[in-house]
Every structure is written in C-alpha cells, then in structure tokens.
Amino acid sequence: MMDMQSIKQLSDALSKKQISSVELTRHFLSSIETHNDQLKAFISVDEDRAIAQATQADKTLSKGNARALTGIPIAHKDLFCTEGLATTCGSKMLANFVPPYDATVVQKLDEVGAVTLGKTNLDEFAMGSSNENSYFGAVRNPWDTNCVPGGSSGGSAAAVAAGLCVAATGTDTGGSIRQPAAFCGITGIKPTYGRVSRLGMIAYASSLDQGGAMARSAEDCAFLLEAMSGFDAADSTSSDRAVEPYSEQLNHDIKGLRIGLPRQYFSADLDAKVRELLHNALHELERLGAVLVDIELKQAELAIPVYYIIAPAEASTNLSRYDGVRYGYRCEAPADLHDLYTRSRSEAFGEEVKKRILVGTYALSSGYYDAYYGQAQKARRLIAEDFQQAFKQVDLIAGPTAPGPAFALGSKTSDPVAMYLEDIYTLAVNLAGLPGLSMPAGFYDHRPIGLQLIGNHFDESRLLAAAHQYQTQTDWHTRKAPVFAGGAL
Amino acid sequence: MSVTTEQLADVATLARLKLAPEHSQSLTHAFNEILSLVDQLQALELESVKPMAHPRDENQRLRQDLVTESNAREAFQAIAPDAQEGLYVVPPVIE
C-alpha cells in the first residue's frame, strides 16, 4: 500500500524505480475520477498535462538529477493562474478564464518537476470559511460528507485528506489554509507575508493574501513550502530574505522551546472538548521538551472587526478590475457602458462576494473612510504590536485553529456573523503578517480538530520542526478519512 | 451605524452592482449585522496610533524604471469578451 506514503517515501520509490511518476499520476487521476463527483474537490483535471509532466519527470529521474518533488502529483488551488488551463477562482466571473501566464508558485513547482493533476475548488474569490460559496458546488468533507471541508482552500484540503493528491497549494487571507486543514485532518502552513510570491495568485485582499502548503504532514508541507517560497522581482511585496531549507531543519531540537498559550484563546468560551484535545497535544509538546507559558493577547477581540473592514475594503478595490471588458464574464447585449459594468458584475459575482464588495465600498466611501478604514488600520497596529510583545516572552504561540470541528453543510449560510466567527483564531495572524500552521490534534465525534501554532516573522522553520516532532509521536495525521481513495498502486 | 435599503442601493451603484429587488431586504439586514460587528472600533481611542498599511510594517520595495516585459497584447486580448484590431470593444460612449 503506497497510498499514505509521504513525499520522502514516494520520492525514494521513484528514484529506486519501484514505481514511475506516470504510474503514480495515473493512480491519482483514477482516484479523482472515482471520488470527485461526491467530494467536488477538483474544479478541473488536466490528464494530458499531468501525464506529460509525469513523463518528463520520469526522464529527469532516470538521469538521476531529481529533486524531492520530481514526479510527485500535486494540485493547485484554482486561484493560482495556470497558463492554458482554466483558472476560475470558484466564480462564474472567471468560469472561462484561461490565463496567458503561470503564477510564480506554479512555475516554481513546475521547475522542480512536480506533476499538476488539476485545480481545486474554493470559495468564490477565496471569500468564505466553508467552501459553500463556490460557483462550482460545495466541497464535501471526506471525514463526514454531510459536513463542510472548511474554506476557502476546502478543495485542496479535501483532496489531500481523501488521497486524491499527495499535497496541494492553498492561499490564506484570514485562515483559508489553516481552518480547512483543521477540518480535514491535514497539516497546512501559511507562511510570513512576503515569503511566497503573489504574482498570478488572484487577489482578494492584497495586504493579507499569502500562498502556502497543504499536505498530510509537516514534513510534506516543508518540501512543498521550500519549493514555493522565495523572492520574486515581479511581486513588490515579496521578501528577498533567503529561504531556509525547511525540510532539513525538521529535527532541530525543540527542547526549551517556549510556547505561549494566550489566555484569550483558551477562555471560558472555548468548547470543553476542543480544550481537552488541545491540552493533550500541548502536553505532548511539553513531553518533547517545550515549555508552556501563559501569555496575553489583549487585543485578540479586535481581529474580527479589523479584518472585516480591511479585507472587504481591499477586495472592493481589487475586484473592481472585473468590468466585463478585458477578460472574464460579459453580460448579453449591454445597453451602454454603465449597463455593461453593472450587469456583468451583478450577474457573475455570487452573494458573498457582492456583500464584501458592498461593505468595502461603504468603508472606503467619502465620509466613512476615517471612521472605518482609517480606524481599522490603526487598530491593526495594536494587534501586530500585541504579538510582538508576546514574542519577547515566547518562541511560538499555540491555540485552536477553529472554535470546533467541521460543521454541517447549510448550517451557517444564513448567518454571516456566525460564519465570520469561524475565523476568530486565525484572522489576527494575517493582520500581523505572521506565519501560522495547523496540525491534526485529535478527533471530536469522528471529525478532526486542529492545533494552531503561530510564529514570529520568517520563523516557518521552527513551526514546521515543532509540528514534525509532534507528528513523530502521534498518529492523528496518518488516520484515513472514511472517504479515502486508497487502493494498491 | 446602520443603512437603509436605499442607502445600500447607492453604495451598490458606486461599486457598479445592482441589487436584485428580491434580495435587497435580506442583504440590507446582513450588511447591518456586519456593520454592528465592526462598529466596536468606533469606540476605540486611537488618535496617537499610526495606521498600519503593510503587515510587516515595511515600505514597498522600488525597482528601476526599466521596461522588463515585452508586449503581449495579442495574448491578453485573445481572452477578452470582445476585441478587434487591437482594441477592446464596448458599447458606444459618445454618440
């Protein structure tokens, strides 16, 4: 059985010719074929491209100059532009959009020989915490198909959890990698803002958006993230700091590592069962040598109001580019230019996207700008400073990824505020530009729960090492979801 | 703060969106719920705090003002809903 193998094991098997990349790729294509109707994890699958890439990878492997990801089948969240392959962003607006270029992330993963199986489902323009806002249908959680997989990178999370790909890219603006990773029982890391290029990553909120890695284990995430990361001259927010070899630093000692537990994240409001599971996980880290320290994040409650002004404000600006003129959806028979703009946008954007555009437009409009956007930008600094205070005392911060396990489809769609509260523990990390990771930490009525670890800027290596060492002692990340492709290769 | 359905329709016009009449009531309700969620910021005393625009509080890196991209007009217009002779076609703006 090779279906639960790690990237390292698969890479080893590929190098030793125990299996070819084409065989591996065909295995995953057939798993997608079997399970995708039920899970809707993929929006598109490009068999020809995948087989061509796998064939090329096999050549590279036979020459003996393979990299860790050479020949490994992965998937991209469908908001990373792929040249010649439709990139929909989960929207009717871009249903027929075929980008003329590749996102830097896609290019980098192509360069190391990873095989792209297809593009994964997401909430429209990455706006959502349940994946129910996709024009292409809601994704189902492989652990319980009546439940959501989380969002917005729900397709990537479900695809990894169901064994439809080895690893997948995701993006995280307010929790969109970490929350679906938690709901689907996998590991996901959102790196520091600027670590991964945003070129060709369709914009939602530019000061918050960051690409990252989703896979079963921290070790697999390390391989993916190190290949995705790095300076890109074409993204002026990309950092020119050298990328650390994350996969080589996984065994760095965590003895004496100080992990802060914010009182505000473990308050009386936290579900008792979630608290118990997190405490068990934290004790395991303590056993490995970490030191748990109680800390304060006094501004924690500001994260939701600040995020729900800044993100919609940036979204309303970013999404003004969809005008029915240059690319994307255009309405039929527009009467005049105003009608062309208005009807193209009204007919092609979904309800959640429209709502956020409206909130953002309002927050930026004359007379309200200072009261909303200006005030939110100032409060954002308080949140960022709060973390910097905490990092004087501790190396990492731990908390829940989400308030509970995956919830039932449809249970929160009519209440926007309840849905927004799903991200209460993840939003602040984006506002402060910090790296955050979610890893499986147990089960709540058969549904996975995630532990979130937050690091200081560019401390991805430490996050991954802590998670990896936890995973050497626990087996939550190796459990198989009831909907799991499996099968011998 | 809260808005009426009419005020929300004005915001929609600014965003080049039209609210479907059957949804405008429920959308106004949802919009006002979001406003009440963010309204707590109004009460904060932040006079002396500097606004934060970049998540790592850094300045945008500048680059040399040099041409780095070649012209890809044909590739970009190939995906336009309507383009002719190198131009994007829209309904008449000036009669």
Catalytic residue list of A: 77, 152, 176
Q: Chain B contacts of A385, Cβ < 8 Å?
A: none
**Contact indicator for A423, A446 with CB cutoff of 8 Å:** no
* Interchain CB distance below 8 Å, B80 and A325: yes
**In this complex, which of A326, A351, A359 lies closest to B80 when CB atoms are compared?**
A326
- The interface predicted TM-score (ipTM) is 0.96
The C-alpha of B45 sits at a distance from chain A's nearest C-alpha, in angstroms, of 9
The C-alpha of B12 sits at a distance from chain A's nearest C-alpha, in angstroms, of 6
pTM, to two decimals: 0.97
Q: List chain B domain ranges.
A: 5-42
Q: Over its length of 489 residues, how does chain A's per-residue pLDDT go in tens digits?
A: 456 799 999 999 999 999 999 999 999 999 999 999 999 999 999 999 999 999 999 999 999 989 999 999 999 999 999 999 999 999 999 999 999 999 999 999 999 999 999 999 999 999 999 999 999 999 999 999 999 999 999 999 999 999 999 999 999 999 999 999 999 999 999 999 999 999 999 999 999 999 999 999 999 999 999 999 999 999 999 999 999 999 999 999 899 999 999 999 999 889 999 999 999 999 999 999 999 999 999 999 999 999 999 999 999 999 999 999 999 999 999 999 999 999 999 999 999 999 999 999 999 998 999 999 999 999 999 999 999 999 999 999 999 999 999 999 999 988 888 888 889 999 999 999 999 999 999 999 999 999 999 999 999 999 999 999 999 999 999 999 998 877 655
CA atoms within 13 A on the CB side of A102: 10
Burial class (CB in 10 A: 0-12, 13-18, 19+), B26: exposed
- Taking one residue from A and the other from B, the number of pairs with CB-CB distance under 8 angstroms is 167
Query: Helix, strand or coil for residue A368?
Result: coil
**Domains contained in chain A, number:** 1
CATH number of the domain that residue A378 is part of: 3.90.1300.10
Residues 420 to 459 of A: which have CB under 8 A from any B CB?
Answer: 420, 430-433, 457
Question: B84: which DSSP letter?
Answer: E
* Interchain CB distance below 8 Å, A97 and B79: yes
Cα angle A177-A136-A173, degrees, rounded to a multiple of 5: 25
Distance CA A171, CA A152 (A): 8
Nearest by Cα to A117 from A49, A64, A211, A191: A49
Q: What is the CB neighbour count within 10 angstroms for residue A293?
A: 14
Q: Domain range for residue A367? A: 1-489
Q: What is the CB neighbour count within 10 angstroms for residue B95?
A: 3
**Contact indicator for A90, A132 with CB cutoff of 8 Å:** no
Query: Helix, strand or coil for residue A338?
Result: helix
Any A CB within 8 A of B71 CB: no
